Structure formats: C-alpha cells, structure tokens
Amino acid sequence: MFFLRELPTRQMLLTYRDRFPDMNPQAVGEALRLLRRGSLLMRELEAYFSAHALSQTRFLTMILIDREPARDGLFPSEIADRLDISRPVVTDTIKSLERAGLLHSIRDISDRRAKKVRLTPDGRAALAAVLPGYFALIADFMDRSTDDAS
Amino acid sequence: MFFLRELPTRQMLLTYRDRFPDMNPQAVGEALRLLRRGSLLMRELEAYFSAHALSQTRFLTMILIDREPARDGLFPSEIADRLDISRPVVTDTIKSLERAGLLHSIRDISDRRAKKVRLTPDGRAALAAVLPGYFALIADFMDRSTDDAS
DNA sequence: CTTACATCGTTAGGATGCTAACTATGTAAT
DNA sequence: ATTACATAGTTAGCATCCTAACGATGTAAG
C-alpha cells in the first residue's frame, strides 16, 4: 500500500532533480499517481469485500475457479501461480473459504500429494451476490478518478 | 495487493456483462490494469527498500520530514495524516527508525502529550543514499510498462 | 530396488497494515 | 475548581502477506 495523501508538486519534483540530475520528474510523478490511485481503489475494494465477509484474495480465488468450469476444480498451486501469491497464503485462503462453506476440496486420485478445490453451490451464490456491487464500485471509482490529477 | 497474473480478456469481460448487464467492461478492464500495474511497482519498491533495511512507509516517513526543513520536526499525528495511515503504524515506524538511528524525537514543550520527530544526520544520509536507486527503479519500471497491455 | 532429487501442500515465524481501547494531557463549561 | 469531553501517542489483538523449512508423495538414475 502506498498512501501519500498529497503527492509532491511538479516544483518539488524539479527540486529533487536539482539534487539528483538523473531523476526523471515526469516518470516519478506518473508512478506516484499510479501508486496512489491503485492503493485507493484497493482500499475501497477491500472495504467492500470485508463487508461481505470476503477479501480480495478470497474473491479472486473463487473467480479463478468459477472461470474454468471445464476443469473439475483447481490445484492450490495453480491458484498460487495465477494469483501470483505464495502458497502458504493459498492454504490459509482455502481454509477460510472452506470454513465458510464456499469451497470444498478433494484429494486427487492420481497424485496423492495434490488436492482439487471446487466451489460449492453456496460459493457460486456468494460470487453472484457480490459481483454486481463489485462492478458498480469499480465503475464509480473510475468515474470519480478520471485522471484530473494529471 | 492485487496480483492476478493474467487479467481477463476482453472476451471474458463481455461474458460477464452478459450475466450482469450493468457492468462496464471498459472500466473494469482499466481498473484491473491499474491494480496490477500498481501492485507490481509496489512489489519492486518494497524489494528495493527491503534491500536497504527500509520499507515504503519508513522511507516516506523520512521523506515527509525531510521535505519540510522549515519545521523543526513533525508530529506523529501529522505523519499519519499525510501518509494516510493509522497512528499505531506511525508509532511502530518511528520506533524502528529510531532503533536504526535514523530518527530521534523530543517531547514537545508546550504540549506534553506530543512529540516532535526529526531526522538524524544518519537519517539524512540514508535518504540521500537511497534516492538515486529509487528514482532509477521508477524510471525503469515506467519505461518497461508503457501501457502496452492496453 | 534404492537412492537422490523434485514437487505438493502445510506449518512456523516475521513484517506490516488495521481497529478498539487505554493513559496522559489539554480544553472548555459550569 | 471540577467535571466532562477531546486529542496525542501507545498497547493489544487481528488480518494478510512473506520466506524457510518440513513431511509426504512422485520420478528418475543407477
């Protein structure tokens, strides 16, 4: 998270360039706006999910599984790869979704180390319930923050 | 952090709009790219700071103080406001920077509840040492990720 | 077969963020 | 002066991320 409320003015960036001549004020300004804007959206999304007993990661885990109905479930390691998060986080995420009855997993037949994770009917319902608000939040955010900061 | 590695294709977004007609595929696509790009930059910055015994928050705290040489230090509550983070985080951040000898604080004269936090000479030196690499990392990142994903 | 190595998911421990509640101090109303 | 409320910073406890290391299982080499 990056939450600097007031980004440096153009003038402040130019002052830094005086001290560090290789510095590119344009790129730094853009990067800070990217970080600030992304963090604000992330914060709003986390708050939304939290109000629905979810989190970004739990939501995305469910989306990933839902997105591949052809497969009869995903392996935790696949989820870790696709979400680009560490496996221990996937372990905990699955555990918590199972406790909530939104996911269930079964040992793999051919590889007894592995397990397949599927959505329960409740899981599919929870996803459908949360998606409209998710899309609405994003549309609203993008509308509000149409780069008038640049 | 938002780390979905493969963002949904335009086609997948359109499929979601079929299920949720109010959904705006354009806005959602842009938002996900914003989140992904911001998270990647954040991850690189954290790695950079971590290699220098710092963190985003510790770095930004120091920058904030450095940025106002007219003041003889900032109050923790001011830092919390400007960084848009909670006060307990500021307490811990200051503690760790003091342990590293980069910051020191003194009780305020007029308000004995408050304290002023200043950079030590070591703190100023650490900041100067870390800034060129910080600017270079950002310039490189922005160069690499010039929105060819859109 | 057995030995060595790779991979799956988990556990353990650390970092960083949050909210709620606390202590100490300041301020304003009676 | 006293009472009540507000504010500064801290502590305690929770959530979520990480890396390192583990046990169990699979695979490949001799």
Q: How confident is the model at residue A56 (pLDDT cuts 50, 70, 90)?
A: very high
* pLDDT (mean) for A19-34: 95
Q: What is the DSSP string of chain A?
A: ----SSPPPHHHHHHHHHHSTT--HHHHHHHHHHHHHHHHHHHHHHHHHHHTT--HHHHHHHHHHHT-TTSS-B-HHHHHHHHT--HHHHHHHHHHHHHTTSEEEEE-SS-TT-EEEEE-HHHHHHHHHHHHHHHHHHHHHHHHTSSTT-
Higher pLDDT, B43 or A149: B43
Sorting pLDDT into bands at 50, 70 and 90, what band is A1?
confident
Q: How far is the CA of B114 from the C1' of C30 (A)?
A: 28
Please report which confidence band the pLDDT of residue A3 belongs to, taking 50, 70 and 90 as the band edges.
confident
In chain B, where the domains are located: 43-144
Q: Residue B148 pLDDT more than 70?
A: no
Q: Which residues of A touch B142 (CB under 8 A)?
A: 24, 27, 30-31
- A77 vs B: CB within 8 A: no
Question: Would the Cβ of B83 be found within 7 angstroms of any atom in strand C?
Answer: no
B4 touches chain A (CB under 8 A): yes
**Contacts with A, B 33-52, CB within 8 Å:** 34-35, 37-39, 41-42, 45
Contact residues on chain B for A131, CB-CB shorter than 8 A: 16, 19-20, 23
Q: Which of A20, A41, A141 sits opposite B135 (nearest CB)?
A: A20
Q: Which CATH architecture has domain A43-144?
A: Orthogonal Bundle (1.10)
Q: What is the reported pLDDT for A149? A: 46
